[in-house]
Structure 1
Amino acid sequence: MRKVMILVFLLLVTIISACSVQNDVRKSELAEYEVTNTHAELEEGNFIYRLVTVRGEYNQGDRVTIYAELEYIGEKEEVTIYHAASPFHFPMVEKVRNFKVDYFMNEPLVNTVLKKGEPYKEEYKGSGGYSSEDDKVYVDFVQKIAENQFPNGYYVVNGFADFFLTDEDGQKKKGFQMNAQIDFKVLPQ
């Protein structure tokens, strides 16, 4: 009986260890990735789009700060843009695990007035979605991201600003989708 209990205990330890290896990324795995771009800026037409993470490396448990800005630099004093709930999207991939984290939002038609030279800024507040068919490890991972509690790993944010302008009659005049990419690491404790 004692041998059976020891065997069961060893089996449980092995299973738990295997699960934690899937959930956690080791420092040696993170060393293979180099943070190259914590700030991206793109100019298109009369607009500048910026995507920023405040630091290239965070410690697990730190609050990860990511934000986007859109600045109007044209000749008018202000311009009205039209977009979904926000003009900014923050989809990302954690590269070590190859986990994709989508960015969902409501899609009402919202307008925002941009004043010349004054950046409009929004901070990332968490994202992600999953289905009942997804693996538990992935579901747990996405739930942490949604709460801005990033598990350790190497992240690439493929952000974009998506909006359009109208003419004097309110008809869609010109659409914009300005894409930028930043990256950062979350180090294990």
Structure 2
Amino acid sequence: MKKHSLIVSFILLTIGLLGCQQNNNEKVANELPATQPLETKAEVIEEDFVYRLVTEQAEYGKNEPIKIYAELEYTGDKEEIEIFHSASPFYFPMIETTRNYVIEYGMNEPLLSTKLIKGEPLREEFRGGSGSYVSEDKKEYRDFIRQIMKQEFPEGNYVVNGVADFYVIANRLNLESKNIN
């Protein structure tokens, strides 16, 4: 059985969260210059698939709901195609660049399938509550991740690395793996 893996990496967007803990006269160490526009959409085309990662705003205020979604669109020759994936084909791992913290995006791993119809994007919104830690991690990191798990994002700059991870059966003897970052 031939296995083919495609990997495309990109970083999409930075989400600045504003908090009442910051004095208006203070500057955050890793704050981006005001003149640099923040990206709110990224798109990757890999063979017969288009992956998009979008946020509705470049910056969010404290306690403001974060609205991020991913789309996967089939553009190949067939009218529809079946993909196989975990609980979802979409992952939303993040990095908080102010503290340099990695926020993993865990997921249940049953084998599910979804039919993609040509030209009709499959869309899923980021639901938050991700992240993990071990008892050996520093208390500050554990406290930070606990907040993230409760969908409370502490003030900082967040970079979302979107991933679409799925398989396509090209024919009964050939299984292709697609991992679009």
TM-score by length of 1: 0.76
CA distance in 2, matches of 1:35, 1:157: 16
- AA aligned to 1:151 is P
Superposition deviation, residue 25 in structure 1: 6.3
- AA aligned to 1:124 is F
Structure 1 segments (4+ residues) deviating >6 Å = none
- Equivalent position of 2:137 in the other structure: 134
Greater strand fraction, Structure 1 or Structure 2: 2
Please report the RMSD computed on the Cα atoms of aligned residues, expressed in angstroms: 1.8
* Contact 1:77 1:115 survives alignment (8 Å): yes
**Is 1:29 the equivalent of 2:28?**
yes
Bigger Rg over Cα: 1
Q: Pick from 40, 43, 48 the counterpart of residue 41 of structure 1.
A: 43
Question: 1:1-189, aligned counterparts within 5 Å?
Answer: 28-29=27-28, 32-33=31-32, 34=36, 36-126=38-128, 127-169=130-172, 171-179=173-181
* Contact 2:71 2:122 survives alignment (8 Å): yes
CA distance in 1, matches of 2:169, 2:60: 41
TM-score by length of 2: 0.79
Superposition deviation, residue 30 in structure 1: 6.1
CA distance in 2, matches of 1:58, 1:158: 18
**Unmatched 5+ residue regions in structure 2?**
1-20
Range with greater deviation from structure 2 (138-147 or 65-74): 138-147
Greater helix fraction, Structure 1 or Structure 2: 1
Q: Secondary structure at the match of 2:145?
A: helix
1:77-100 deviation per Cα after TM superposition (whole angstroms, max 9, x unaligned) = 110001111111111110011111
What is the number of residues matched between the two proteins?
A: 155
- AA aligned to 1:29 is V
Relative contact order, CA 8 A, sep 6+: which one is greater?
A: 2
**Unmatched 5+ residue regions in structure 1?**
1-23, 180-189
* Contact 2:31 2:157 survives alignment (8 Å): no
Superposition deviation, residue 134 in structure 1: 1.8
